[in-house]
């Protein structure tokens, strides 16, 4: 059943008009992370303080005794983890700096960086999404360091996410950085909101893809990419 009401948080900011509007359907509404314009007016230190207070309140409401030695540091730990680690990719100041190198070898074939470890969080439940990202591109004269591809994946994954959006954001970022449309991204991930709650399906994975340029228009390039990705 859907409940309709307006929730205000303790700062009087409207949280949601319709609870359960999206429910368990995991539908993304935009390729852009829905951020407010004033998202970064507050500094990280203040964000951590506020989240610590609010998370402590959630734990208190759940009935937990925050004077317990094991629990008393949790609100601060969670706040720091949110701001400095798992959601650090919301802030453009944390976007990895990427240097391009000239493709001296004139390698003009498909380059694939596969099995990139991926950790993200479902924006509908705030529980982990984890899996692998596979990226392919064809150089148009420039290449980037391989570890930078991992860093770009990590940056966009370090946000509350929807897997489709995450895939597109990585694809668009690489298209821009590499200056070529010939970019492919496949993400194969496991959603804790599907396995640990709700339908409790521990076996299903979600696969999403982004294909640009040659990968979109040339069946051969796409097949080659997918062959590399599936190689053991
Ligand atoms: Zn979810």
Residue 107 CB neighbours (<10 A): 11
At residue 94, the pLDDT reads 97
The continuous run of DSSP H or E covering 81 comes out as: none
At residue 105, the pLDDT reads 78
State the catalytic residue, choosing from 124, 134, 169, 190: 124
At residue 203, the pLDDT reads 87
| Alpha-carbon span 33 to 170, nearest angstrom | 12
State the catalytic residue, choosing from 122, 161, 169, 224: 122
At residue 28, the pLDDT reads 60
Please give the distance of CA 12 from its chain centroid, rounded to a whole number. Answer: 28
Q: Cα of 192 to ligand 1 centre, how many Å?
A: 7
Q: Cα of 207 to ligand 1 centre, how many Å?
A: 15
At residue 18, the pLDDT reads 41
| Alpha-carbon span 45 to 53, nearest angstrom | 13
Is 109 one of the annotated active-site residues of the chain?
no
Q: To 10 degrees, the CA torsion angle through 96, 102, 170, 158?
A: -20
Is 154 one of the annotated active-site residues of the chain?
no
Q: What is the pLDDT of residues 74-133, one digit of tens each?
A: 999 999 999 999 999 999 999 999 989 888 877 888 999 999 999 999 999 999 999 999
Please give the distance of CA 166 from its chain centroid, rounded to a whole number. Answer: 5
Tens digits of pLDDT across the chain (232 residues): 444 444 444 444 444 444 455 555 666 666 899 999 999 999 999 999 999 999 999 999 999 999 999 999 999 999 999 999 999 999 999 999 998 988 887 788 899 999 999 999 999 999 999 999 999 999 999 999 889 999 999 999 999 999 999 999 999 999 999 999 999 999 999 999 888 888 888 888 999 999 999 999 999 999 999 999 998 6
Phi, psi of 81 (to 5 degrees): -65, -45
| Alpha-carbon span 130 to 163, nearest angstrom | 10
Is 190 one of the annotated active-site residues of the chain?
no
């Amino acid at each position: 059943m859907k409940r309709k009401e307006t929730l205000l948080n303790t700062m009087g900011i409207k949280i949601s008009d319709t609870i359960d509007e999206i429910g368990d359907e995991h539908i993304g509404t935009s390729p852009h992370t829905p951020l407010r314009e004033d998202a970064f007016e507050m500094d990280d230190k203040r964000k951590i303080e506020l989240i610590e207070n609010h998370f402590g309140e959630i734990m208190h409401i759940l009935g937990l005794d925050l004077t317990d030695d094991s629990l008393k540091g949790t609100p601060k730990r969670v706040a720091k983890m949110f701001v400095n680690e798992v959601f650090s990719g919301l802030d453009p100041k944390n976007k990895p700096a990427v240097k391009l190198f000239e493709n001296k070898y004139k390698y003009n074939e498909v380059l694939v960086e596969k099995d990139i470890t991926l950790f993200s969080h479902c924006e509908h439940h705030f529980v982990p999404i984890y899996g692998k990202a596979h990226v392919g591109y064809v150089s148009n004269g420039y290449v980037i360091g391989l570890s930078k591809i991992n860093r770009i994946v990590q940056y966009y994954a370090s946000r509350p996410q929807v897997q489709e959006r995450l895939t597109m954001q990585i694809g668009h970022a690489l298209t821009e950085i590499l200056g070529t449309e010939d970019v492919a991204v496949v993400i194969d991930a496991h959603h804790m909101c599907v396995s640990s709650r709700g339908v409790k399906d521990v076996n299903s994975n979600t696969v999403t893809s982004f294909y640009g340029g040659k990968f979109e228009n040339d069946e051969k390039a796409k097949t080659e990419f997918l062959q590399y990705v599936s190689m053991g």
